[in-house]
């Protein structure tokens, strides 16, 4: 049927088994096949089969009942100061009453109103950097987050919580870690990144508990040493409520697209857990070797926003033309996601795949011209070990960097950008790649 555009004020007459009924409200996108959906003036949604519709009439704009905004109540000045830096994502979503969709337009102060428990944990100052879906975030936004954390600490904050979409949260957490601790220092306070897999309008939302846990860590967690804890990711530890995991921000990965416990630490365990049994959050530290505190950094090192890195996956469709494009396109480095222990299709034992030979020669040419080629593991866990097989040793001979690393791919991308931002090109990456800058490459975890 000819249903008006979403957000149009309409009066609908429907004929149901119980008789004729009239409804006034806003037209919404259909909730299902052959359904007409609208939002009533009282704020509720209603759907009817198209066959039930007797008539549709456009009317003057009507007012939809929404909760009025209230002025934030005064905060307890005796509590520690935590800056809540808002970038967007599902944790900061709300229903758009014009369309019925969940959109990222939750203002920072609304988080405080929605989660009143935060006011008893810390004195919150909310800073809005943007309302972005995390897949739209670029290195320039990492720099803005780093600058915002630096400003927070200079203003007396003991900790910072960055609310962020989960899809690239692990990349931004790694950027916070390398920015503050990649040169051997530590941040002046705690930095926690959190998000949610399910938006606050859903009954199964994890938003509130994740946010409470993150703010509690930022306000009351141990002082950061700069190793593994320079930034942390805090999200549900399981699908059930009551326990959130504190993961090293420099070494975690999103492993599930929809579960509430979507993140795991890679090649190492959690730093701690935040327990919340309804009587308020508490911290339970996990067992791990304590690290000596580093010298406090005055400011973070920012990323060179002009650097461009190409990522290529080692599989049957990796071709030399792809490497040629990166060479001709002026990319600063290539990050290969290698199979198994870090291998690329560079050999032709059956003499029926000449593209493998061309790929090897092209990568060799790239490295000999001071190009930076690094390989990370495409597996979930485990090291890059290019000494086990002959082809791994040949990869090292032609100049591919990566042997011995435990750094997961996402953190590896950020680490590569960090090392290139220091200057020194290939030699800087080669010398820094095997180092354990801030917990991404724990040598005691290698097998």
Burial class (CB in 10 A: 0-12, 13-18, 19+), 13: middle
Chain centroid to Cα 446, Å, comes to 26
- Structure tokens given for 337: 């996601």
Residue 302 DSSP class: P
- Structure tokens given for 274: 């935040």
In the residue annotation, 149 being an active-site residue is answered as: no
The answer to whether 344 and 336 have CB atoms below 8 angstroms apart is yes
404 torsion bin: left (phi>0), alpha (psi -120 to 50), beta (else): left
In DSSP notation, 415-433 reads HHHHHHHTS-HHHHHHHHH
Burial class (CB in 10 A: 0-12, 13-18, 19+), 368: exposed
In the residue annotation, 167 being an active-site residue is answered as: yes
Residue 4 DSSP class: P
Compute the CA torsion angle 308, 314, 318, 322 (nearest 10 deg): 10
In which order are the strands placed within the sheet that holds 309-313? 309-313, 333-338, 372-377
In the residue annotation, 16 being an active-site residue is answered as: no
- The catalytic residue among 167, 206, 237, 332 is 167
> In 221-288, which residue ranges form alpha helices assigned H by DSSP?
none
- The catalytic residue among 37, 87, 166, 168 is 166
Rg for the chain (alpha carbons), in Å? 26
In the residue annotation, 254 being an active-site residue is answered as: yes
288-303 per-residue burial string, b: 16 or more CB within 10 A, e: under 16: eeeeeebeebebbbbb
Q: How far apart, in Å, are the Cα atoms of 66 and each of 18, 26, 102, 106, 305?
A: 29, 13, 15, 14, 42
Strands 159-163 and 190-194: parallel
Helix (H, G, I), strand (E, B) or coil at 323: helix
Adjacent-strand bridge partners of 11: 24, 57
The answer to whether 83 and 178 have CB atoms below 8 angstroms apart is no
- The catalytic residue among 39, 163, 237, 254 is 254
C-alpha neighbours within 13 Å on the C-beta side of residue 201: 15
Name residues whose C-beta falls within 8 Å of residue 254's C-beta, 6 or more positions apart in sequence. Answer: 166, 167, 169, 170, 262, 263
Name residues whose C-beta falls within 8 Å of residue 279's C-beta, 6 or more positions apart in sequence. Answer: none
Enzyme catalytic residues = 90, 166-167, 254
């Amino acid at each position: 049927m000819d249903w008006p555009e979403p957000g149009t004020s309409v009066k609908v007459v429907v004929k149901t088994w119980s008789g004729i009924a009239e409804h006034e409200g806003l037209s919404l996108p259909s909730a299902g096949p052959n359904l007409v959906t609208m939002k009533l003036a009282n704020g509720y949604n209603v759907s009817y089969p198209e066959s039930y519709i007797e008539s549709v009439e456009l009317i003057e704009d009507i007012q939809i009942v929404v909760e009025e905004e209230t002025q934030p109540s005064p905060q307890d000045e005796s509590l520690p100061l935590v800056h809540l830096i808002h970038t967007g994502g599902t944790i900061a979503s709300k229903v758009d009453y014009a369309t019925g969709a969940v959109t990222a337009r939750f203002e920072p102060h609304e988080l405080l109103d929605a989660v009143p428990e935060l006011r008893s944990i810390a004195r919150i100052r909310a800073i809005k950097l943007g309302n972005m879906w995390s897949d739209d975030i670029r290195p320039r936004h990492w720099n803005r987050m780093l600058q915002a954390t630096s400003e927070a600490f200079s203003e007396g904050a003991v900790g910072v919580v960055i609310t962020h979409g989960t899809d690239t949260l692990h990349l931004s957490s790694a950027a916070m870690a390398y920015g503050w601790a990649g040169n051997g220092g530590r941040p002046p306070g705690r930095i926690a990144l959190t998000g949610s897999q399910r938006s606050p309008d859903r009954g199964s939302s994890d938003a509130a508990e994740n946010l409470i846990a993150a703010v509690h860590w930022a306000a009351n967690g141990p002082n950061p040493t700069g190793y593994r804890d320079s930034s942390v990711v805090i999200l549900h530890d399981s699908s059930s409520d009551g326990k959130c995991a504190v993961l090293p921000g420099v070494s975690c990965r999103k492993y599930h697209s929809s579960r509430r416990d979507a993140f795991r630490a890679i090649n190492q365990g959690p730093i701690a857990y935040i327990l919340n049994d309804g009587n308020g959050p508490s911290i339970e530290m996990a067992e791990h070797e304590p690290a000596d505190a580093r010298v406090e950094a005055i400011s973070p090192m920012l990323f060179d926003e002009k650097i461009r890195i190409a990522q290529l996956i080692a599989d049957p469709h990796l071709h030399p033309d792809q490497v040629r494009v990166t060479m001709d396109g002026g990319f600063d480095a290539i990050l290969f996601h290698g199979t198994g222990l870090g291998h690329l299709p560079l050999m032709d034992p059956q003499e029926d795949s000449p593209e493998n030979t061309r790929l090897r020669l092209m990568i060799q040419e790239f490295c000999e011209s001071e190009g930076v080629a690094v390989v990370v593991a495409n597996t979930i866990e485990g090291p890059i070990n290019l000494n086990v097989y002959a082809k791994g040793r040949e990869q090292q001979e032609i100049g591919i960097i990566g042997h011995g690393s435990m750094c997961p791919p996402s953190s590896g991308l950020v680490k590569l950008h960090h090392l290139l931002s220091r200057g020194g090109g290939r030699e800087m990456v080669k010398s820094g790649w095997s180092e354990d800058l801030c917990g991404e490459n724990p040598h005691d975890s290698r097998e």
